[in-house]
Structure 1
């Protein structure tokens, strides 16, 4: 009887650990915010930033991946195996900050999935205006008043 109880207790603990529910916000704050700030940077912050703000990053992710599942999968893949070929940020950001280093030794895929879902749902916040939005709007309005996105800068 004791052996059965111990077995059931161990199996229950293993299942509980395997199905751990990660807090994406907390993980983002712990693992990502040391590089990616979560606010619009002040002039002083801009001077010391080591990576683009998460608002801009997610603006570009959503520009390239129209649904949450694809965006989450991209984030997981990119953070684990970054490359210039996969990058969605503007070339100027990559020149300034360099390519993101792999986070394989810093975050698990399960943690990263929770982070990716959290940042997809929360960034950029409503009302956020990326500098490229104004450039794109000007380009589109001068293009026969057509609202189709131009592919000339891709």
Structure 2
């Protein structure tokens, strides 16, 4: 009985190990190819401060949206993992304003990203898209709610 149970779990263990390696490889691709422009994480409060700076006519202290915001925004339009990964692979290879899902202000501030996917292998694109999907748990609505809640509190003097 134990042998049957062990062999039944073996494919799951191998599958989990492969996914773990894909995640690690995706993070390495992010560090090497994406981190020059995209910071890995910013809290909704930090993002809100940047937006307020821009609304007052200042320049953002970053050169692209943070990755947790990118992930949440893309998941808003592509919640299914397979569709998300396919979108990211295509977008980083052939980015355009027409196919982008960024807020209009993001395009105004940062423009369209360069086609960094053209310098990556298919495996690297797959890995970074997988990492981007699984690394962040925030939702677009949740991030907006946190930013708006923080803004309402400040406006009401809290």
TM-score range, shorter chain: 0.5 to 0.7
SS at match of 1:40: coil
Partner of 2:35: 33
Partner of 1:85: 98
TM-score w.r.t. the length of structure 2 is 0.62
Which whole-Å deviations, capped at 9, do the CAs of 1:52-105 have from their partners, x for residues lacking one?
001111111100002100000000000000011110110001100001111144
Count of aligned pairs between the two proteins: 113
Unaligned runs of 5+ in 2: 1-20, 51-59, 149-158
Partner of 2:13: none
- The CA RMSD over aligned residues, in Å, is 2.7
Given that residues 72 and 138 in structure 2 are in contact (C-alpha distance below 8 angstroms), is that contact kept between their aligned partners in structure 1?
Answer: no
TM-score w.r.t. the length of structure 1 is 0.64
Distance 1:27 1:101 in 2: 16
- CA displacement at 1:34 relative to structure 2: 1.1
Task: Verify: 1:123 aligned to 2:125, yes or no.
Answer: no
Structure 1: 4+ residue segments shifted above 2 A: 45-48, 131-135
Distance 2:97 2:41 in 1: 25
1:95 to 81, 84, 108: 108
CA change 1:32–1:122 in 2 (3 A) is same
